[in-house]
A and B are shown apart, each in its own frame.
Chain A
Amino acid sequence: MKTRTLAPLLYRPLASPLHATRAGVAALWALALVAAALVLYHPLALAALVLAVLLAARGAGVARELQRALRTALIIGLPIVLVNVLVSREGLTVFARLGDLGPFGQGNLTVEALVYGAVIALKITVLVLITSLASLAIDPDAILRICRRLSFRSALTASLAVRMLPLLAADAQRLADAQRTRPDGGPRGARAGARARAALLGAIVAGSLDRALDVAATLEVRGFAAAPRAPRLQRSWSRHDLAFAASALAVLTLALLARLTGLAAFSAYPLLHVPLSAGLLVLCLALALATLLPFLDRRGIEL
């Protein structure tokens, strides 16, 4: 209950091919999708990626959480579209005139700016979805363990930050509850309320420092000061490791091919150029299939 506010994006072990994949490979797979989202601009290709990631989330058992992430991404995306329409002066197809805006010049809203804003919003949506999926399905400890081979203390500090976030949220909730149980129900009025919030913040910081001292003592006796490199784990590659590695390679290759060959070419300014071709449709289908195929093999995934 206490971690409810942060639980939507916290990793938890589930029976899915992505969860069963070693963290390093799963992270590479997610990075390949991120790279694809960054190099592709064609709205159809980006839409294919959105659909593929949502279906992948379903395969990983975190569809509900990703729907929430999708809503968040849309909330972020909408202002981007609006701002781009208002500030961009590069399009030629005007659909509304706001007149003279003084130092900002003529307020002409263009279809090109609208579409380009929407493409950027779509790109951000894909990125939010991929990072949310990775956060939900890839064990952060395993990732940080890989990082510990490079820098033990930095990675451990990152581990602690991840671990302490829900605890800090719980501390804040507890303190707020404690203030609600005071006879006066806490101070009233704007100024008194601001003072109370400052005092509450101070108490949270003081509590966090107390907790940090205890954690530091625990780390000391666990040998943190010795801080050697984490040993390399010898594990054979599972079918899921191989499948997701192949998927990552395929997604990256397809995205680069599309970029280099101009198959998914898109330009917004000065006039919209959104070519549609059979090749593009095949590319979108291939991207989605390459992303989703590893989820079809569900052998050996139970916890």
Chain B
Amino acid sequence: MSVLAFERVTYSYPGVAQPALRDVSLALAPGEFCLLAGLSGQGKSTLLRAACGLVPHFHGGRFAGRVALAGLDTREHGPARLGTLAGALFQDPETQLVMSSVRSELALAQESRGHSAGAVARGIEEVALALGIDHLLDRPTHQLSGGEQQRVALGAALAGRPRLLLLDEPTSQLDPVAGDELIALLRRLNEESEMTILLAEHRLERCLASADRVIALRAGAIAHDGDPRSFLQWAARAEPALQTPGAKLFTLAGLQPPPVGVKQARAALRREGLLPDEPLARAGGAAGARDAAHVRGTAHDEPAAHARAAAGAPLAPAAAASVPRRPSRRARRTMVAPALELRQVWHEIPRGPAILRGVDLRVQPGESLALMGRNGAGKSTLLRHAAALLAPTRGRIDRGGRVALLLQNPGDYFLHDRVDREVSAAALARAGLRGLEDRNPRDLSGGERQRLALAIVTDTTGDEPAVLALDEPTRGMDRRAKAELAADLRARAARGQAVIVATHDPEFACACASRAVLLADGRVVADGPAAELLAGGWYFATETARILGGAAGALAPEQGAALLAARAAERGGRGETLNAPGSASNGPAVSGLRGKASAPADMASATASRASLGDGTL
């Protein structure tokens, strides 16, 4: 018997004519790890809520069809009863912790199901040990970090030992390390206890390798249902915005089949002779220089990088260990006036820790900078200092003009019930929100809310702000919305505005920034060109960089594809032949890369793919 079965389910929220789910039929077998993919607003969250009975019992609306959770019809059993079979973890950990201490939180779910005191105590111990949160048991929940909160919320969802675990973008507020840890934890639970997992996620590259199956939703209907590889093949044809960067790299390079993870991608490239044993960036030499030349041709960030170099800002020679040095006094005299300069900035909490510890940072006009680091590293505090929301306890901050700051939650900026009351008509038009004047800002999609909030903080009658700072602007955004935001930020930088983005998303950082700064424990631990810094790590690196080993600083799939095409052409020029494919599925890889030089049809296909992907997705 399947753990979860949807039979021709169609559902509309109250007062909304358009169905959120349309004729959905699916069945999950015990122990399946299933990924729900889809752009924002396509029905992923609604499907998860239907699976645990919140739809229709909690939300109301019109419901047709049947959902059975372990044989129980969700129309006949409420969420409380279904909760013994399905645990749910939603996006915002803060709204999922209802008690004051971790132990009480883990106990509540079991006590509310009538477990005995002994069973509750045992359940707490087991869950705490399984999730590695035993050291947190007596901590107050309001003192936990985002990652810890999400783990505790997961523990509460697991405390009743459910057969099915439903997760709605659980990593969206976590840094890359905490996000990867959570996915690994889910995989372990799935492997060791045969727990069925249904996970909705935007950053598919993070979890695709763990999944057995992917269901893609489009306009509330199932558009694809298959294994991860078939999903990527479908996405390349039908929904390019859902492709992972690795799959996009292969598509652009004309390689088949698309890889499900970094390991698979590297193995495929190595088989084709396109990936040397040593990463070229480390090997250096002529090949590395040639690769670098190919990648430079596709980089979007040259103007800002040149401007920065001309201004004498510190450029790190090597990524990972490049801690910035203050330029000499003579060098500073010859520099262009910075848009923002922090000098030895400290932020110390009275009778508490230091959040920033002697930060030096100089940002030039037209420069775009990605601020990265783990949760609690000091990114948000640094941005608040930049925008004068906080004053340093030591050190000095010079601003070349107004610093506009977009805080994490765009909803915090909305005070009115109509979009046109929030900003001027001109700002609305610039933000591409014309036609939405009479809508309530809270009813807009995630991307539209972000654009409106950005319009609010930058809506001036006079000059544009000298610096635009954004704190985690891509939380919960799909790739298409992220790409639009990245394009907007690049345009602002090109107009001379300095852009600083605090983000956990290396792909977004690569798309919008020419320089990256890594913060840890309130200190700048690395500062350099994004092409170097985002190419050399495990966590703070793009998937393309991890696949290509950081070769020549190729971060984006387009850059990686150019690099691979150049390597293939070079091999062709030397008269070498690519490895013969070992299987039928590898066949198109060879023909695709040869096609760069010889097959016009394949070239046209690759070019068309690039055209369709290059402007719309990350």
Contact = CB atoms under 8 A, between A and B. Distances in A.
Contacts of B157: 221
A232 B117 contact: yes
Interface string A124-149: 00000000000000011110010010
A163 interface: yes
Interface string A63-93: 0000000000000000000000000000000
Given A178-B413, A223-B113, A167 B94 contact: yes
Contacts of B58: 216-217, 220
B79 A225 contact: yes
B78 interface: yes
B120 to A, nearest CB: 7
Given A166-B142, A182-B457, A231-B120, A217 B90 contact: yes
B389 A141 contact: no
**Majority secondary structure, B binding face:** mixed
A192 interface: no
B55 to A, nearest CB: 10
B412 interface: yes
Interface in A175-202: 175, 177-183, 196, 199-200, 202
Contacts of A159: 98-100, 104
B173 to A, nearest CB: 13
A121 B79 CA distance: 52
A163 B121 CA distance: 22
B408 to A, nearest CB: 8
Interface stretch (A5-13, A49-57, A100-108, A251-259): A5-13
Nearest to A142: B104
B405 interface: yes
Contacts of A179: 413, 415
Contacts of B415: 179, 196, 199-200, 202-203
A231 B407 CA distance: 44
Interface string B87-118: 11010101111111101100111011111111
Contacts of B411: 207, 210
A225 B54 contact: no
A199 B100 contact: no
Contact of B456 (A145, A182, A220, A223): A182
A303 interface: yes
B100 A214 contact: no
Given A10-B142, A183-B458, A218-B98, A223 B402 contact: no
A135 to B, nearest CB: 12
Contact of B80 (A139, A177, A226): A226
A274 interface: no
Taking residues whose C-beta sits less than 8 angstroms from the other chain, chain B's interface range is 35 or more
A303 B138 contact: yes
**Majority secondary structure, A binding face:** helix
Contact of A174 (B49, B98, B409, B458): B409
Contacts of B457: 181-183
Taking residues whose C-beta sits less than 8 angstroms from the other chain, chain A's interface range is 35 or more
A224 B90 contact: no
B306 interface: no
A206 interface: yes
A214 B121 CA distance: 27
A230 interface: yes
A211 interface: yes
Nearest to B460: A183
Nearest to B383: A181
A2 to B, nearest CB: 8
A233 interface: yes
B1 interface: no
B52 A221 contact: yes
B78 A225 contact: yes
Contact of B143 (A12, A139, A177, A217): A12
A179 B405 CA distance: 11
B237 interface: no
B442 interface: yes
Nearest to A166: B142
A177 B407 contact: yes
Nearest to A186: B415
B557 interface: no
Given A11-B140, A231-B111, A181 B98 contact: no
A221 B88 contact: yes
A220 B96 CA distance: 11
A1 interface: yes
A178 B412 contact: yes
B112 A181 contact: no
B98 A177 contact: no
A220 B80 CA distance: 6
A38 interface: no
A300 to B, nearest CB: 15
Given A163-B97, A163-B99, A223-B83, A228 B114 contact: yes
A203 B98 contact: no
Interface string B36-57: 0000000000000100111001
Query: Which has the most chain A C-beta neighbours within 10 Å: B80, B118, B156?
Result: B80
Contact of B95 (A214, A221, A222, A234): A214
Interface of B: 49, 52-54, 57-58, 78-84, 86-88, 90, 92, 94-101, 103-104, 107-109, 111-118, 120-121, 138-143, 156-157, 160, 349, 352, 355, 384, 387, 389, 402, 404-407, 409, 411-416, 442, 456-460, 465
9 contacts: A3-B142, A4-B349, A142-B104, A160-B98, A167-B94, A181-B404, A181-B405, A181-B457, A221-B88
Interface of A: 1, 3-4, 10-13, 139-142, 145, 148, 152, 156, 159-160, 162-163, 166-167, 174-175, 177-183, 196, 199-200, 202-203, 206-207, 210-211, 214-228, 230-234, 303
Given A174-B409, A177-B389, 12 more contacts: A159-B104, A162-B100, A163-B141, A163-B142, A167-B94, A206-B442, A211-B95, A215-B95, A221-B83, A223-B83, A233-B117, A303-B138
